């Protein structure tokens, strides 16, 4: 009887405990319900450097950067969860070609106690990829300004004759010219233009800075000074020959040297040319004399001086008596030229003699102070200053008084 009573008491207590537990559970569910929450988690990019190693780059970096993570759990657990508790990522190491642009989102994991991840959106991220190429372009050197007067740029050495550009094909297709610009205004010495930035231009002249960034070249400029080569002539040609002209070849040469030495040289010389007694044209090859610290650049070490001489020729002009005039005559006297004609010989260069005519001689006789009688007088003529009379010329002049007029009856 006692055992039965005890058993009833125990059963009653057990039922009470179970009821209490169930009540507590109901109350706990009522005050701490199940909750769903969505978090915007920033996307982590992994192994982006692998792309460049594989000659691939992102065509557009404006892809989705956040992933929506949905979680579920008791309210007290869910409320403790924040964005920092999750990590979602895409791994660029999975990309081996430009066609591999759809990447699966990795994460966020399921390690939070009492919280389940029930949603992830999007599960894939689309990225646009482009192949990185290399192309080689010739390098154009543009010079602005002019060297100092009398100086010339004779040599230009560039550390790279061409430039290899690396970039996406869409940019490389725009390239029209790759150039470097240096300022040579007033240049009078050899100059190294170090680390000059290159410029990559499209066909409209706009710079594509992304392709030319951090690319430089060295340009070595060599200058020379251009100076005349001069000469002197001594002596005189043989009789009946005259100096005609002289020339030198080359007329100018290029010289190099340090800036100070170059600045002092205005001209170079050869030894004098002696033409004493020559009767024909001559050519003499002579060494160009250099001053200290100066060298010839791409110019001959000798110069040839050519001297031209011309033989004088005679021209005979027949002067008739009717062409001769009397100067300084006495109007009370009569003057008669008894010489019918005279041959006048003039010596000069042929070209000058072509302009000498009988008319241009203006022949005359000066009868200043002479009285009646027969006189042997020099014939005067006018000739160019370059011409010379060959010999002296005389004519006979008779001076008389005119007969008085007859008286009328």
| pLDDT tens digit sequence for 266-325 | 999 999 999 999 999 999 999 999 999 999 999 999 999 999 999 999 999 999 999 999
In order of start, what are the domains of the chain with their CATH numbers?
A: 34-126 (2.170.120), 131-226 (2.170.120.40), 231-311 (2.170.120.40), 313-400 (2.170.120.30)
Query: Which of 71-85, 184-198, 352-366 shows the lowest mean pLDDT across its residues?
Result: 71-85
For residues 147 and 223, is the Cβ–Cβ distance under 8 A?
A: yes
Q: What was the pLDDT predicted at 238?
A: 96
Position 32 confidence tier, pLDDT thresholds 50, 70, 90: low
pLDDT tens column, 340-377? 999 999 999 999 999 999 999 999 999 999 999 999 99
pLDDT at 334 over 70: yes
The reported pTM is 0.63
Mean pLDDT throughout 37-53?
Answer: 85
CA–CA gap between residue 401 and residue 406 (Å, rounded): 15
316 by Cβ neighbours in 10 Å (0-12 / 13-18 / 19+) ranks as: exposed
pLDDT at 39 over 70: yes
Of 100, 103, 94, 86, give the one whose Cα is nearest residue 40.
86
For residues 361 and 393, is the Cβ–Cβ distance under 8 A?
A: no
pLDDT tens column, 218-276? 999 999 999 999 999 999 999 999 999 999 999 999 999 999 999 999 999 999 999 99
The angle subtended at Cα 327 by Cα 322 and Cα 333, nearest 5°, is 85
Q: What are phi and psi of 263, to 5 degrees?
A: -65, -20
pLDDT at 6 over 60: no
How high does pLDDT run on average in the chain?
A: 89
Mean pLDDT throughout 16-27?
Answer: 57
Higher pLDDT, 69 or 347: 347
What string of DSSP letters covers 37-89?
Answer: EEEEEEEEEE-THHHHHTTEEEEE--S--EEEEEEEEEHHHHTT--GGG--EE
Q: What was the pLDDT predicted at 5?
A: 57
What string of DSSP letters covers 97-139?
Answer: STT--EEEPB-----STTEEEEEEE-SEEE-EEEEEEEEEEEE
CA–CA gap between residue 94 and residue 47 (Å, rounded): 9
Residue count (the chain): 409
pLDDT at 212 over 90: no
């Amino acid at each position: 009887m006692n055992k039965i009573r005890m058993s009833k008491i125990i059963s009653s207590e057990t039922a009470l405990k179970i009821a209490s537990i169930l009540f507590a559970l109901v109350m706990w569910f009522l005050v701490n319900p199940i909750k769903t929450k969505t978090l915007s988690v920033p996307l982590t990019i992994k192994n982006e450097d692998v792309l460049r190693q594989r000659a691939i780059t992102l065509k557009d970096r404006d892809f989705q950067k956040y992933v929506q993570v949905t979680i579920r759990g008791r309210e007290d657990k869910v409320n403790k969860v924040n964005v920092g508790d999750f990590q979602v990522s895409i791994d660029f190491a999975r990309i081996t070609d430009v066609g591999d642009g759809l990447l699966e989102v990795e994460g966020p994991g399921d390690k939070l106690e009492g919280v389940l991840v029930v949603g992830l959106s999007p599960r894939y991220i689309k990225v646009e990829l482009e192949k990185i190429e290399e192309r080689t372009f010739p390098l154009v050197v543009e010079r602005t300004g002019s060297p100092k007067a009398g100086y010339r740029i004779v040599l230009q050495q560039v550390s790279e004759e061409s430039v290899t550009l690396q970039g996406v094909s869409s940019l490389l297709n725009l390239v029209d010219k790759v150039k470097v610009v240096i300022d040579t205004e007033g240049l009078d010495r050899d100059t190294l233009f170090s680390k000059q930035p290159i410029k990559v231009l499209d066909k409209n002249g706009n710079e594509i800075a992304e392709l030319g960034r951090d690319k430089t070249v060295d340009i070595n400029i060599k200058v020379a000074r251009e100076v005349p080569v001069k000469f002197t002539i001594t002596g005189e040609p043989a009789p009946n020959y005259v100096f005609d002209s002289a020339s030198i070849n080359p007329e100018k040469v290029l010289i190099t040297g340090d800036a100070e030495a170059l600045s002092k040289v205005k001209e170079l010389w050869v030894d004098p040319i002696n033409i004493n007694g020559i009767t024909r044209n001559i050519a003499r090859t002579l060494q160009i004399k250099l001053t200290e610290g100066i060298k010839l650049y791409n110019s001959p070490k000798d110069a040839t001086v050519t001297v031209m001489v011309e033989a004088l020729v005679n021209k005979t002009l027949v002067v008739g008596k009717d062409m001769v005039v009397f100067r300084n005559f006495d109007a009370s006297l009569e003057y008669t030229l008894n010489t019918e004609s005279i041959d006048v010989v003039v010596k000069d260069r042929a070209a000058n003699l072509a302009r000498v005519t009988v008319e241009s001689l203006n022949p005359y006789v000066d009868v200043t102070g002479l009285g009646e009688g027969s006189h042997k007088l020099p014939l005067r003529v006018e000739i160019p200053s370059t011409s010379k009379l060959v010999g002296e010329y005389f004519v006979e002049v008779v001076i008389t008084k005119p007969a008085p007029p007859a008286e009328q009856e």
